[in-house]
């Protein structure tokens, strides 16, 4: 009886799976066109899956091993089951292979089950709680029905009752694993995930590469939508990417806005996009909600505007673009791209940048700096430093990109310290002075692509006038934009963060350094230096050269937590239960360090905004400048003055 029933079950489930797959593909195809290498992507997919994806998953050894056993066991047993039970190739060797595969899958499923007994809050519940049982049903059923094939048991063992039970088990198994895979069950992640890896919009990320610059909007194309209004305005492979989510909640656990109680949860956002692409409500979402927003009140479909139907605007504006979610995502989903795409629509079409957003954007247009300061004051911080101007020298080894920190009195201390270091190392450097403009970072993260492109093209025009070997900046945001985002507008430069440059100077012995005196030190990795550009080592190298042993925070390196200052978040200022910099300061306090070294004007401002008593905040440039040993120049006796009579 089983011999007739099993092929029917298998092929019926497979047939339905193919139908579901076609239906799903059509949902993705509602998105806009995207330039992807379809065939090359498919060919590269197995390697991307087994190497790149596995690297991310392997940060958690338990689940990595569990997944390898379950997935490998499943793929093998599915193929072998189709051969053995579907096509009736009742070969003993194949039978034994199928037995082994199903045992492997069963072992994996058992560990999935154990993880699910007391799941952490980041994991979604609902249908995902059913999955380990379905995996077990599949593996156990195929194990048992294959025993006669392998010759372990006689063919008619157990009679019709066992046969009926096994058919039910197989039915359950193939429903979840084949049918559910393309009709929206938890196994959808395998189907959509594989294709997402093949047709990822940032193929450069695979093979150890990095791709973090936002993709430009083509403003010259009058018909192209300005950002994303409806789910169908995403490119098709973005929609596919949303569908790949496994709801593991690694993003949720890493998100600073979620932890601060702001109304954002990256996992829920991606699931809302899935609701948007398929149509429906978020009532079936079985994970943590956006803080402060109950589940079940939002709905959408591909042709309905996202904001205020599917997602509220404050959710989108809570993001600091710190990329912690993208870094953690085992499916390599691009959350930040999606958020910025939707912000673009709000800013460019609706003029709905919240709070100080509109004012900052207007200032950027009218004064080239977000604060609206008179552009003529851009070099006031260096009035007494006699800085060489590139407009006078027309060429230099190093172009020192000052950034908008020039208008901020706290950051001016950092800038002056770095100039002191440059001078001590006798570097041939120059600044643009009044010709420099805001890099466009804030405008772009706030969704104002037009102002970003305006600033970028003007800066590129200015830079084209001069010759220099590299650009060095103390601001990781300018660094990222100049390095990764100007190339789309034909601005290609060698750009370095000042920590990298100082590490080089120290390595070349160009600096005569003493030791850092006093307090113990920890280091806070800026998102735009670390996760965006992979520079974790140079700042630590510089600190080591000062004789500092960095007391690392638990969240450091690629897991560093945002200070709350990125993505225009201080400008849009979404309320939460606590402030992100306060949480970061708690991380710093846990190390017991009395001083935190930073490398970013935003981080400095955010962390210094935490009420005292708290550890001191110093930029790496300040620490280096403090440790500089002056050359043995004759010391002038201090001029003694007669104390004047004070009345």
Partner 1 sequence: MTTHVISLVSIGAHPTSGRPRRAEQDARAVELGLQMAGDKLQVLHAGNIHEPTLRSYLGMGLTQLHVLEQPAGSDALPVLSEYLRDAGAQVVLTGSQAETGEGSGMLPFLLAEQLGWPLVVGLAQVESIEGGVAHVLQALPRGQRRRLKVRLPFLATVDNAAPKPRQSAYGPAQRGELAAHEVEIEQDELFTGALLQPAKPRPKRLKVIKAKSGADRMKAATAKASGGGGQVLKGLSPEAGAEAILKLLIEEGVVR
Site residues for partner 1 per CB under 8 A: 222, 226, 347-353, 357-358, 361-362, 365-368, 372-375, 448-451
Toward partner 1, which CB reaches closer, 434 or 616? Answer: 434
Nearer to partner 1, 286 or 434 (CB): 434
Reference 534, options 250, 251, 210; nearest CA is 210
Smallest distance, partner 1 to C-beta of residue 462, A: 17
Of the pair 353, 591, the CB lying nearest partner 1 is at: 353
Cβ-count burial of 443 within 10 angstroms (0-12 exposed, 13-18 middle, 19+ buried)? buried
Residue in 480, 479, 473 with CA at minimum distance from that of residue 414: 473
**CA distances (Å), origin 579, targets 284, 330, 557, 562, 584:** 31, 28, 21, 11, 9
CB of 591 to partner 1, least distance (A): 42
Which residue, 169 or 405, has its beta carbon nearer to partner 1?
A: 405
Rounded to an integer, what distance in angstroms lies between the CA atom of residue 191 and that of residue 188? 5
What is the smallest separation between the CB atom of 458 and partner 1, expressed in angstroms? 13
- Minimum distance from residue 357 beta carbon to partner 1 (Å): 8
Please report the DSSP string for 525-537 in residue order.
--TTTTTTT---H
Identify which of residues 233 and 282 has a Cβ nearer to partner 1 in the complex. 233
Q: What is the CA radius of gyration of the chain?
A: 29
CA atoms of 622 and 610, how far apart (whole Å): 20
Distance, CA of 22 to CA of 19 (rounded, Å): 5
Rank residues 453 and 602 by Cβ distance to partner 1 and give the closer one: 453
| Minimum CB–partner distance for residue 361 and partner 1 (Å) | 8
Closest approach, Cβ 356 to partner 1, in A, equals 11
Least distance in angstroms from the C-beta of 311 to partner 1: 20
Dihedrals phi, psi of 15, to nearest 5 degrees: -60, -45
**How far is Cα 502 from Cα 511, in angstroms, rounded to an integer?**
9
Q: Least distance from C-beta 225 to partner 1, angstroms?
A: 9
Q: Tell me the CA distances in angstroms from 220 to 304, 447, 456, one per residue in order.
A: 26, 17, 15
Q: Which is nearer to partner 1, 441 or 619 (CB)?
A: 441
C-alpha angle 538/539/544, rounded to 5°? 95
Q: Please, are residues 194 and 42 in contact by the beta-carbon 8 Å criterion? A: no
Tokens 């001083």 locate to 595
Specify the residue, 284 or 461, whose C-beta has the smaller distance to partner 1.
461
DSSP 307: B
């Amino acid at each position: 009886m089983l011999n007739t029933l099993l092929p029917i079950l298998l092929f019926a489930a497979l047939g339905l799976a193919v139908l579901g797959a076609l239906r799903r593909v059509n949902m993705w195809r509602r998105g806009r066109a995207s330039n992807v290498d379809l065939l090359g992507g498919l060919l590269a997919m197995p390697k991307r899956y087994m190497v790149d994806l596995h690297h991310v998953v392997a940060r958690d050894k338990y689940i990595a091993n569990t997944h390898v056993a379950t997935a490998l066991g499943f793929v093998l047993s599915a193929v072998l089951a189709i051969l053995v039970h579907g096509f009736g190739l009742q070969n003993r060797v194949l039978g034994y292979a199928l037995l082994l595969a199903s045992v492997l899958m069963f072992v994996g499923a058992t560990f999935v089950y154990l993880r699910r007994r007391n799941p952490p809050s980041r994991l979604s519940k609902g249908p995902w709680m059913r999955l380990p049982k379905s995996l077990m049903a599949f593996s156990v059923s195929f194990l048992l029905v294959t025993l006669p094939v392998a010759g372990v048991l006689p063919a008619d063992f157990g009679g019709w009752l066992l046969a009926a039970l096994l058919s039910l088990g197989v039915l359950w198994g193939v429903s979840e694993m084949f049918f559910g895979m393309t009709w929206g069950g938890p196994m959808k992640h395998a189907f959509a995930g594989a294709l997402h890896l093949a047709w990822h919009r940032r193929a450069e990320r695979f093979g150890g590469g990095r791709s973090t610059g936002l993709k430009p909007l083509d403003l010259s194309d009058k018909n192209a939508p300005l950002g994303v209004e409806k789910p169908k305005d995403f490119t098709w492979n973005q929609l596919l990417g949303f569908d790949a989510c496994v709801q593991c909640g690694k993003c949720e656990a890493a998100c600073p806005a979620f932890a601060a109680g702001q109304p954002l949860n990256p996992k829920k956002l991606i699931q809302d996009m899935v609701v948007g692409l398929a149509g429906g409500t978020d009532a079936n979402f079985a994970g943590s909600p956006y803080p402060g927003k109950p589940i079940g009140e939002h709905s959408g479909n591909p042709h309905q505007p996202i904001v205020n139907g599917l997602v509220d605007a404050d959710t989108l504006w809570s993001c600091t673009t710190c990329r912690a979610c993208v870094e953690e995502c085992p499916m390599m989903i691009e959350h930040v791209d999606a958020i910025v795409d939707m912000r673009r629509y709000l800013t460019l079409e609706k003029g709905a940048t919240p709070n100080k957003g509109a004012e900052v954007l207007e200032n950027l247009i009218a004064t080239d700096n977000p604060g609206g300061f008179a552009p003529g004051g851009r070099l006031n911080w260096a009035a007494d430093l006699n800085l060489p101007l590139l407009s006078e020298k027309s060429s230099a080894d190093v172009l020192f990109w000052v950034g908008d920190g020039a208008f901020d009195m706290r950051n001016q201390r950092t800038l002056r310290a770095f100039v002191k270091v440059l001078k001590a190392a006798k570097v041939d450097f120059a600044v643009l002075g009044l010709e420099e403009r805001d890099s466009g970072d804030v405008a772009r993260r706030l969704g104002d692509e037009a102002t970003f492109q305006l600033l970028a093209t003007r800066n590129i025009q200015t830079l084209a006038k001069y010759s220099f070997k590299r650009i060095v900046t103390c601001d990781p945001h300018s660094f990222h934009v100049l390095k990764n985002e100007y190339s789309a507008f034909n601005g290609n430069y060698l750009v370095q963060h000042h920590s990298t440059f100082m590490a080089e100077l120290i390595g070349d012995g160009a600096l005569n350094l003493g030791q850092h005196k006093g307090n113990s030190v920890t280091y806070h990795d800026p998102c735009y230096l670390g996760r965006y550009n992979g520079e974790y080592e140079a700042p630590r190298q510089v600190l080591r050269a000062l004789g500092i042993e960095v007391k690392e925070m638990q969240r450091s390196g690629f897991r560093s937590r945002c200070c709350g200052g990125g993505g225009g978040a201080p400008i849009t200022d979404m309320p939460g239960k606590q402030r992100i910099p306060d949480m970061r300061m708690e991380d710093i306090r846990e190390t017991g360090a009395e001083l935190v070294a930073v490398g970013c004007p935003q981080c400095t401002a955010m962390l210094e905004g935490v009420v005292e008593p708290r550890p001191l905040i110093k930029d790496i440039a300040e620490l280096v400048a403090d440790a500089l040993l002056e050359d043995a120049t004759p010391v002038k006796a201090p001029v003694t003055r007669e104390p004047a009579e004070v009345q």
